Structure 1
Amino acid sequence: MTKKLLYHFLYVSASLGWATLAYGQVTVAIEGNVTFQTILGWGGNTYSWILNGWNGWTNDRVYEIAFNELGTTHLRMVTEFESWELENDDNDPNHFNWTYFQSRFQQTDNSARLVRSDFDMMHKIANTLEKRLIIGIWNVPNWMVSDPDKKDHRHLPYRMHAEFAESVAAYLLWARDRRGIHVPEIILANEPDGTYLEYSPEALRDLIKIVGAKFKREGITTKIVAPDLASPHFDPDLWVTTLLKDSVAASFLSAISYHTYYAEGGPDQWNKKFARIAELAATRRLPVYYTEIGATPWDIPNTTWPWAFACAQMWHNILTHGNANLGFQWALLGRDSAINSDASHNPIFYLLGQFFWHIPAGAVRIAAQSDHSDLLVSAFQHRGNNSAQFVFINRTATALQVAAHLQNLNLTALQSYRTSANESHVRVFDFRMVKRQIQFAIPALAVMTFTGTVIAETDGVSPERQPQPE
């Protein structure tokens, strides 16, 4: 079955509620002593403009659901940075004209309202909800670019890099000193391949160096996440290598980041590239972030089960092939949202829950292998709370009978939870381990997560840990 036909089948079968009773047999091996990356948490994207109530976003309940009930630990906010310094504050990039920046909060036009919503949303995320905040810059004001009439593939010339650095520093200093908001990480260019702004790898490297030096002079501790490209279609060996070969640029980075788009071939399209990104990041011992996790083709609505199910497979792939330490769903609130403006849930909410609700920050991914290419399995262990978690994704149109064998991981019982086109997130059965094996059935096109308590006993094999970022 081609990927396009598979997506069509998913869409039709989910709509009609088809199920199949035929079973295939699958064997899974889970090895507790082979470990990979540490999970830093679970993230999603949000816009700040929704605070203004535009497009019907007036229900306060949406924030509680998306940011707390989902188990979100990290939030990436789309800034309206192009409205921050709408005109040049002055002609000296080494001087902050704070009178100008203060004026942005006294004006009443829409761009000024967007500025206020940025700082209000950052305050809500970091200080009220106490989530770890990362912000991204999508665009810059027209006076900074050489081609202000263009809507995309705009160019920030080198002569404006110092002005850009000053503007970003002013934004972060205002957040810190006037609003008490700590911004740990920033993305200087969301999708620098041209969604709004277009850079070469060398230009992005040089911009990072100029901004990073400005941060250092101003006492700003915010670190930079890059390259944040739309897809591994944009060659990691070119982009990531250019950034990491320069020791100065690399010193300002806290993580290597990518998005998951241009995957018209299906969620597996970029698996080899995901692995390569992880290899490159490990050369500088940097964690890997996927700051926008979504699915293509775009003609499948984000409010549907097939889109959500494709996203779940993408999450599996960035975790198991890409050794991702942190992922951010596109998006929790705003466009393509998991939660709608009326606080109703889209299917992606429950599929995210299979990861967010059960796998704690600090868990380490352990080795797991299925002998069926369409039964995806990932496994995790948190030594601090003696817990283990296994996530199974059956992407076949057939129910599967699974025998999972555990080694160097001693559990007596497991709880299980399931999400499918007809089930949001249901507690299924408790399973007892028999000779370190569990057997269970997983329906077609479904996700099941198992959780259990680890007993301190192994098979006597020393742990084999893969190289990890610090």
Structure 2
Amino acid sequence: YFEARDAPGSNLRREFEMMQALQRKGVPYAASIWWLPEWMLADPNMKPRSEHRRRVGIGKWEELLESVGSYLLYAKKRYGAEPDLFSFNEANIGVYVLFDPEEHREAIKSFGAHFRRLGLKTKMLLADATGPDGTYTYALPAANDAEALQYCGAVAFHSWGGTTPERYRLWGEVAEWLNLPLLVAEAGVDAQAHRERRYDSFHYGLREVKQYQDLLEHARPQGIIYWEYTSDYGLARVSREGGQEVVEPTSRFHFMRHWANLTPRNSDNLSAETSHHQVRVTAFRGAEGFTVHIANLGPARELVLEGLPAASYRQVVTSATEGFVEKSRVEASPQATRLALPGRALITLTTVR
């Protein structure tokens, strides 16, 4: 089936090639179902494809398992690609397949056992729920079932809409209780901001920065996946001039460079506190030193940093007028380090190596 449809230039071919590229780079990745074929649904051809809360049809489960399993086996054998994790996207609200918490538990059992029989390493993503506000309960029926839990490889939620520090912490506590990694499988502020490109502003970028700080401080995930590196929430503007495509990075692109390029891989997220609600600090310790992300969400001010190990630090700044600009190095003292913060900016310090 898949070999006959795996044609050059097809969406299917592009999917497999992306999986292969991620696999070769050693990047962990998840495969998620959004839509099912109409014939697999309980109400086939009765609603538009964009309709939420569709359910798997009675008697269709075996065919669903066979379909997903054969897809993954083909990807493994033909492309050497094998997803680390598998889920149904936002099944707690049905985007676009709906499972209640108990059905989610049973789906984990069914798919997990099927993948194991096929010799696939792919584990199930527990919850993959949206948004973060109180939805940790969606994971609990599966979390309390030993049979389901053996098939789970990580816990995940989507951050749309955000929540309070206390409710972010509940997600972290569930993952710690189960001894599983926590993933923010979609990081985003406003799920409707793709309409009329409302995301395309410096102000929206600052909201994203603040949310990253909240997630890292309170939920304590092991991974955050930005939604998304495509035109829906694009970090760059694309236009045409003289018949040529022109790509213009935005401040949001540069903010993302701070997180992606300057945060050490496999580092520890350290405890950090501030005395001003408009200044947020996130610190990491890696094998080669320290990284400190400082978000100043208000006007320019002086910051006194205490506890920063004495060393020379590279300083990178993104603001409304500068994008990922290298500034003069900061020499940290053992007692306190004074730093002038530009207004409405993200400042990152990294140990000079």
TM-score by length of structure 1 reads: 0.68
Given that 2:268 and 2:284 are in contact with CA atoms closer than 8 Å, whether structure 1 keeps it comes out as yes
Which 5+ residue runs of structure 1 have no aligned equivalent?
A: 1-99, 264-268, 455-470
- 2 CA distance for matches of 1:423 and 1:273? 34
Tell me which residue corresponds to 1:295: 189
Tell me which residue corresponds to 2:175: 281
- 1:390 paired to 2:292: yes
- 2 CA distance for matches of 1:225 and 1:340? 33
- 1:369 paired to 2:284: no
Given that 1:287 and 1:325 are in contact with CA atoms closer than 8 Å, whether structure 2 keeps it comes out as yes
Tell me which of the two structures has the higher relative contact order, counting C-alpha pairs closer than 8 angstroms and 6 or more residues apart.
1
Given that 1:132 and 1:184 are in contact with CA atoms closer than 8 Å, whether structure 2 keeps it comes out as yes
- Which of 323, 326, 332 aligns to 1:424? It is 323
| 1:190 positional shift | 3.9
Q: CA RMSD in A?
A: 2.1
| 1:453 positional shift | 5.5
Given that 2:82 and 2:120 are in contact with CA atoms closer than 8 Å, whether structure 1 keeps it comes out as no
Which 5+ residue runs of structure 2 have no aligned equivalent?
A: 239-244
- 1 CA distance for matches of 2:203 and 2:326? 22
- Which of 61, 83, 86 aligns to 1:186? It is 86
- Per the alignment, in what secondary structure is the counterpart of residue 248 of structure 2? coil
Higher deviation after alignment, 343-352 or 182-191 = 182-191
Q: Please list, as runs of the form range in 1=range in 2, the aligned pairs for 1:345-364 lying within 5 A after superposition.
A: 345-364=249-268
Deviations 1:214-259 (A, max 9, x none): 01111011112121112023521x2121221011111111111011
| 1:163 positional shift | 2.1
Tell me which residue corresponds to 1:224: 124
- Per the alignment, in what secondary structure is the counterpart of residue 326 of structure 2? strand
Tell me which residue corresponds to 1:271: 165
- 1:105 paired to 2:6: yes
Higher deviation after alignment, 341-350 or 209-218 = 341-350
Q: Please list, as runs of the form range in 1=range in 2, the aligned pairs for 1:75-224 lying within 5 A after superposition.
A: 100-105=1-6, 113-127=10-24, 129-148=25-44, 149-150=46-47, 151-157=51-57, 159-224=59-124
- Per the alignment, in what secondary structure is the counterpart of residue 178 of structure 2? coil
- 2 CA distance for matches of 1:192 and 1:175? 28
TM-score by length of structure 2 reads: 0.90
Given that 1:330 and 1:337 are in contact with CA atoms closer than 8 Å, whether structure 2 keeps it comes out as no
| 1:200 positional shift | 0.3
Tell me which residue corresponds to 1:306: 203
> What percentage of residue pairs aligned between the two structures are identical?
22
- 2 CA distance for matches of 1:369 and 1:315? 15
Deviations 1:260-318 (A, max 9, x none): 1134xxxxx34322110101111111111001111127457222111111111111111
- 2 CA distance for matches of 1:212 and 1:122? 20
- 2 CA distance for matches of 1:295 and 1:423? 23
| 1:102 positional shift | 2.8
Cα gap change, 1:184/1:158 in structure 2, threshold over 3 Å: closer, same or farther?
same
- Per the alignment, in what secondary structure is the counterpart of residue 226 of structure 1? strand
Aligned residues: 339
| 1:115 positional shift | 2.0
